């Protein structure tokens, strides 16, 4: 119970302690009900643990849609900027009698900056998305394992 006191006083923080706390609270409440069988107590506890786990996973996945959108849309925004810039570079030649590379090159160089900016936004976003997705998946697996082990420990306590 010393661990439970530390968690309740928020000396130990994190996803796993919050899952533990919700499960332990439900276990204590269910155990006080005289008419509940062992199976019902464990089922109630497991449901509380799972609900808390899903809440924690939802919180971890909160930023994934933004990263996915930034990673997939940024190159297209950069491409749009490139196309627009190249169009402008060629349109600037309409008043020039003899077009040379020197007339077009600055506009094309500016247009390519849009591509670079799009990629500079997309690449870190995709890396962050993949990294965070992997961490969420690993944590989810750890949470499931914890719930099974904790349920077994509680069942032996009854």
Q: How confident is the model at residue 77 (pLDDT cuts 50, 70, 90)?
A: very high
**In terms of DSSP H, where are the helices of the chain?**
2-8, 15-32, 38-60, 64-91, 101-157
In the prediction, which pLDDT does 3 show? 58
Q: What is the pTM of this model?
A: 0.76
Tokens of 126: 């995709």
Closest CA to 128 of 68, 59, 57, 56: 68
In the prediction, which pLDDT does 74 show? 96
């Amino acid at each position: 119970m010393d661990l439970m006191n530390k968690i309740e006083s928020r000396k130990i923080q994190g996803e796993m302690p919050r899952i533990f706390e919700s499960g332990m609270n439900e276990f204590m409440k269910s155990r006080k009900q005289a008419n509940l069988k062992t199976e019902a107590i464990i089922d109630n506890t497991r449901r509380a643990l799972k609900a808390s786990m899903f809440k924690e996973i939802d919180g971890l996945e909160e930023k994934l849609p933004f990263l996915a959108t930034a990673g997939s849309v940024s190159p297209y925004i950069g491409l749009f900027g490139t196309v627009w810039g190249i169009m402008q570079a060629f349109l600037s030649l309409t008043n020039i009698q003899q077009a040379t590379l020197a007339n077009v090159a600055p506009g094309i160089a500016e247009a390519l900056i849009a591509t670079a900016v799009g990629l500079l936004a997309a690449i870190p976003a995709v890396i962050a998305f993949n990294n965070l997705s992997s961490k969420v998946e690993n944590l989810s697996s750890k949470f499931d394992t914890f719930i099974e082990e904790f349920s077994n420990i509680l069942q032996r306590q009854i």
